[in-house]
Structure 1
Amino acid sequence: MSSNQLWIYDTTLRDGAQREGIALSIEDKLKIARKLDKMGVPFIEGGWPGANPKDVQFFWRLKETPLEHSEVVAFCSTRRPNRVAAEDSLLQAILTAGTHWVAIFGKSWDLHVTEGLHTTLEENLAMIGDTLEYLRSQGRRVIYDAEHWFDGYKANRDYALKTLRTALEAGAEWLVLCDTNGGALPHEVTQIIEEVREALPELQTTGENSPRLGIHTHNDGGTAVANAIAAVMAGAKMVQGTINGYGERCGNANLCTLIPNLQLKLGYDCVTPEQLARLTLTSRAVSEIVNLAPDDHAPFVGRSAFAHKGGIHVSAVAKNPLTYEHITPEVIGNRRRIVISDQSGLSNVLAKARSFGIDLEQDDQTCRQILAELKVLEKEGYQFEAAEASFELLMRSAIAQRPHRFHLKGFQVHCNASDVIESNALATIKVSVNGEDLLEVAEGNGPVSALDQALRKALVRFYPQIAEFYLTDYKVRILDSNSGTSAKTRVLVESSNGEQRWTTVGVSTNIIDASYQAVVEGIEYGLLLRSQSVPEGSPLKAPIL
């Protein structure tokens, strides 16, 4: 075992699920657990079976098809005051879950003992010792989470240390110091961990069966990741956190930030390089499962984490990526993106062309023409940094490589809004395909839906693959609100074929016309995807998960 070995402990399924707006089904939890297992996370906290019957089923389902790499952990509190651990129903539920490892949390802060539990400090010590001894007698290995550790230590150092000593003597293999309220700062974490190791000499031994320290931080002060790194550098060997930093209130330490910092910057061993390369994929997969939009600007795994927009930046990165990238994005499964906007220079256009598999030269007049058209369109309200598919179509038009598979001849939309809730729409569209004029009608629950349905209905006979396409997002932005109802509108439409996603843009003073532009280009781009191999770096290479 390497002296630099760290044990990652993921609590997305329990602590992360306490985030406001997240509600996980059993199937959701199983999917996330298997993503984490592929990432090589050593410990996955599955939930609290004594408090949530759904979690019991989760543990049982995992027994049917066990994980390959990870230990699943059941979570629970110490026994309740003035009871016997062997007779406490909460602990019986833990045993029923059947996990080899269990995580037990107990009170470190005297305030919580007297005000929260309404019991004595001595009884709290008995609760810790009795609980851990009982679980050990039942063949379980125990991780002890010292809840509110840092607040408790600052309030009553001697008593807080007694709780850790009790847990050690009762058989805890891990002592995890928890910043439950998220108010500690890195220098405090460093100092307190050093003092804990000095007060408990057992923690300084290096034998395989020696007890070890862990860290569990929350982000209420915005320092969860910094606190966890400080703890590791002070001697902690287990790092607890969640994917994407999900958690109650302001969230937990973000493992998607912690793991690459610890492994790539500080040289600790968390997962294998192959598993680390799954980090971005795992982050986005979990965000999809919990039904929360990914944070595009998240460190390491965000879509914009390695995006370059300024012309000087793009030019420098083309010569040497180290100029504006702190790591190689591929090592954590992300990729470099060149962003196109009205701030772009020729370097941006050339770099973007290369990502699309288009060969342009800097002194090529076509390149300057594309840049000039880009700046004109962005001045009119188009936004290509958020709609790379539309920009690729624009670029292919400039070099005569844009196939025109259909030609729109006109459309009409009729809305029938009731005075209740629903607003139905009927769209009529006329389109020409291979010289044949088609007239189709379709209904939708709004004008954009009706237009989309009518266009698909007209084209699917010629292009059956359109049946695979669907809209995944629709954004509307009023560009000049002072113009009232005649204001110019920008519409971004995200489309998918079940494997990739791409975004297109439309701009008009007519919101339906702007929407239609984006919808049409979305279908056109999807057909382009199906008709040719997609170059590395194209927006179509970005997977859904």
Structure 2
Amino acid sequence: MSQAIQIYDTTLRDGTQGEGVSFTVAAKLRVAEKLDQFGIDYIEGGWPGSNPRDLAFFEEAKKLKLHHAKIAAFGSTRRASLPAEEDPQLKLLLEADTPVVTIFGKTWLLHITEILRTTAEENLKMIEDSVRFLTENGREVIYDAEHFFDGYCDDPDYALQTLEAAKRGGAINLTLCDTNGGKLVSEVEAIVGKVCAHFPDTLVGVHCHNDSGLGVAVSLAGIDAGATLVQGTMNGVGERNGNANLTTIIPNLVLKMKREMNCKSQLSKLRDLSLFVDEMANRSHDMKAPFVGASAFAHKGGVHADAAAKVKESYEHIEPELVGNRTRVLVSDMSGRSSVMMKAKEVGVDLDAHPDELREFLGKLKELEYKGYEYEAADASFKLLLNRYLNGKKDDVELIGYRVMVGHQTAMNRTVSEATVQLKVGDEIHHTVAESNGPVGALDAALRKAIAPVFPEISEVELIDFKVRILDSQHGTDAIIRVQIESTDGKEIWGTVGASDNIIEATWEALIDSVEYKILLHSEGK
């Protein structure tokens, strides 16, 4: 039986080198706890001494009650011609007080002579001395062989000597790094195989980047060739094009390659973990991400949706639930009868009772799509449309009129918007006024103010995203505008849509659908 694979997560160190990625200390601690709960084996927390945030993290991390994962501090080998015990950076690694220390050293002679400005012999001593110093001070040491594949291609004998130096020092794992992400699958597989053959009694790992779009592929090839540890980041964040993506690597290892690992039992929580890490990093989630993206199991074409409805595996390579995802049907002008019926069932509307009206509804849907509406990310608007069209459900709120004014107050150096809304709720007329920085905020505030006395549940609703897209931009200011809004009540998230050649009207349509949907949820007891 093949050896279990260990997962080494470097989101909190290497991942933070990615453009637009940043974690507060509190966020790093929360992510570390989530990674531990998921069953990750090693969590690289940062580089002590590189910045105050990492020092603060290691201090606070001592208080974490982790159940499985080991925290690793990251650093480099000692400086040339400086004893390991006197190297300030190695001292900081010890002060981080982590059970594991990962240090990187040079493999490529180009780096040794031109960047470190030292000799090949001294570099070998730097590696061995540094690993031994940390090991003798009670640390497990993982050795990251930087630019290993470039170095191996340049001088394979010397590249292997660097690994031998780390092994003599006491490293528990020799991780081969494709630091610039430039190697192909066949190259990585061949070289990892040779290293594993050269060190039959030593654990080998791989650390790959995505510069050639192959970060996941070369990592899996490394495992196939004999590596038993894989490094990467959640959602593939990292410097340049990012690190190998663990949210893709892990399910491939478990579901496709049938490899054992500690986090296997937690695989159904993978999507939640992916979303959580993005939330902590204040990033938008990648809808197209394999396995965990919202679009990973989404079907739009009528033929695909129909086939997936009959035999799911015909268009889905795994059961989405295995990674915490779900099948989605996207309703568009490409949709056929099967797509709409599946989508209706997904949002809780039974179309079996309306066979005659369905054809007419399909025509109406295609007409709306032609006018600029799009329901792929607007499940709430779609459900409301179904209820209005097929069930004859009347809206709870009837618009009488609204007016939005935008003005600039020079004396106060500010722009302010004012919205007036007149609505009929039941038998009563509600007329309200609200101000905000922008017209959308003012319109939203006036709408809420008008209906909250009758539907107090509206106070729970918060707008979390607002997107505007101009359709047919060649028409300039007369172009159709689509507005899509995401709302939440703290329990559910829903999307609504509006379309018009007037941005305020399109916004109103999306806003009123948002509150109508919340009223519907409340009436259904959700």
Same fold (TM over 0.5): yes
Q: Distance in 2 between matches of 1:150 and 1:401?
A: 66
Structure 1 residue 354, shift from structure 2 partner: 1.2
1:117 matched residue in structure 2:
116
Give RMSD over aligned pairs.
1.6
Residue 377 of structure 2 aligns with an amino acid whose one-letter code is: A
Match of 1:455 among 447, 461, 465: 447
1:499 aligns with 2:491: yes
Q: Structure 1, residues 363-396: CA drift from partner, whole Å, max 9, x if none? A: 8012222211110100111011121211111011
- In structure 1, runs of 5+ residues without a counterpart are 206-210, 535-545
In structure 1, the partner of 2:330 is 339
Deviation, 1:193, is: 1.3
Distance in 1, Cα, partners of 2:44 & 2:480: 50
1:302 maps to which residue? 293
Cα deviation for residue 265 of structure 1 reads: 0.3
CA contact (8 A) 1:273 1:331 kept: no
User: Aligned-pair distance for 1:465?
Assistant: 2.0
- 1:285 maps to 276
Match of 2:6 in 1: 7
Q: TM-score, normalised to structure 1's length?
A: 0.94
Alignment match, 1:95: 94
2:473 maps to 1:474: no
CA distance in 1, matches of 2:58, 2:269: 25
Q: Provide, for residues 181-223 of structure 1, a one-character-per-residue CA deviation record: whole Å limited to 9, x for no partner.
A: 000111001111122223x3xx323xxxxx2000000011111
* Residues 131-146 of structure 1 aligned to structure 2 (within 5 Å): 131-146=130-145
- Candidates 504, 507, 511, aligned match of 1:512: 504
Structure 1 residues 118-142: Cα deviation after superposition (integer angstroms, max 9, x where no partner): 1111111111111111111101010
Matched, 1:373 2:372: no
Measured after TM superposition, the shift of residue 403 of structure 1 is 5.6
Which digits, 9 at most, give the CA deviation of each residue in 1:33-54, with x for residues without a partner? 1221121101110001122222
| Equivalent of residue 428 in structure 2, options 421, 426, 436 | 436
Letter in 1 for 2:215: A
Give 1:406 deviation, angstroms.
1.8
How far apart, CA to CA, are the structure 2 residues paired with 1:401 and 1:23? 49
For 1:42, the equivalent position in structure 2 comes to 41
Please give the alpha-carbon distance, in whole angstroms, between the structure 1 residues aligned to 2:512 and 2:62. Answer: 48
- Determine whether 1:253 maps to 2:244: yes
Structure 1 residue 158, shift from structure 2 partner: 1.3
Instruction: Give the number of aligned pairs.
Output: 525
Matches of 2:501 and 2:511, distance apart in 1: 16
Cα 1:370–1:270 shift into 2, 3 Å: farther
1:533 deviates by: 4.8
Deviation string 1:258-277 (CA, Å, 9 cap, x unpaired) is 00111100100134444101
Quote the residue 2:379 is aligned against.
388
Unmatched tracts of structure 2, length 5 or more? none
Structure 2 partner of 1:69: 68
Q: Match for residue 21 of structure 1?
A: 20
Residue 349 of structure 2 corresponds to residue 350 of structure 1: no
User: Distance between the aligned counterparts of 1:4 and 1:346, measured in 2?
Assistant: 49
| TM-score, scaled to structure 2 | 0.97
Contact 1:361–1:367 (CA<8 Å) still a contact in 2? no
Which amino acid is 1:263 matched to?
Answer: V
Residues 15/401 of structure 1: CA separation in 2 closer, same or farther (3 Å cut): farther
Q: Is the 1:389–1:503 Cα contact (8 Å) retained in structure 2?
A: yes
Q: Is the 8 A contact 1:277 1:332 kept in 2?
A: yes
Q: Distance in 2 between matches of 1:191 and 1:38?
A: 35
User: Partners of 1:421 and 1:334 in 2: how far apart?
Assistant: 48
- Aligned equivalent of 2:128: 129
Counterpart mapping for 1:217-228 below 5 A: 217-228=208-219
Give the equivalent residue in structure 2 for 1:542: none
* Cα drift, residue 82 of structure 1: 1.1
Q: Paired residue for 1:406?
A: 397
Cα distance in 1, alignment partners of residues 260 and 460 from structure 2: 42
**Is residue 18–residue 239 contact of structure 2 (8 Å, CA) maintained in 1?**
yes
SS at 1:465's partner residue?
Answer: helix
SS at match of 2:62: helix
Tell me how far apart the structure 2 counterparts of residues 399 and 39 of structure 1 sit (CA, whole Å). Answer: 44
Distance 2:414 2:510 in 1: 24
Paired residue secondary structure (1:58): helix
2:40, 2:263 within 8 Å by CA — same for their partners in 1? no
Partner of 1:359: 350
- SS of the aligned residue for 1:413 comes to strand
SS in 2 for 1:204: coil
| Contact 1:50 1:93 (C-alpha < 8 Å) held by counterparts | yes
Call closer, same or farther: CA 1:274–1:528 in 2, change over 3 Å. farther
> 2:445 aligned with 1:446, yes or no?
no
Worse-superposed segment, 320-329 or 358-367: 358-367
Which residue, 301, 318, 337 being the options, matches 2:309? 318
Residue 427 in 1 paired to residue 419 in 2? Answer: yes
Moved more, 379-388 or 456-465: 456-465
1:75-110 CA distance string (max 9 Å, x none): 110111111111111111111111111101100111
Verify the 8 A CA contact 1:350 1:362 in the aligned structure 2: no
Instruction: Indicate whether 1:106 and 2:98 are aligned.
Output: no
Q: CA deviation at 1:72?
A: 0.9
CA contact (8 A) 1:50 1:76 kept: no
Counterpart residue identity of residue 388, structure 2? S
In 1: Cα distance, 2:173 partner to 2:5 partner? 13
Distance 1:464 1:83 in 2: 70
> What letter matches 1:519 in structure 2?
L
Q: 1:288 to 1:118 in 2, by over 3 A?
A: same
The verdict on how the C-alpha distance between 1:362 and 1:238 changes in structure 2, with shifts beyond 3 A counting, is farther
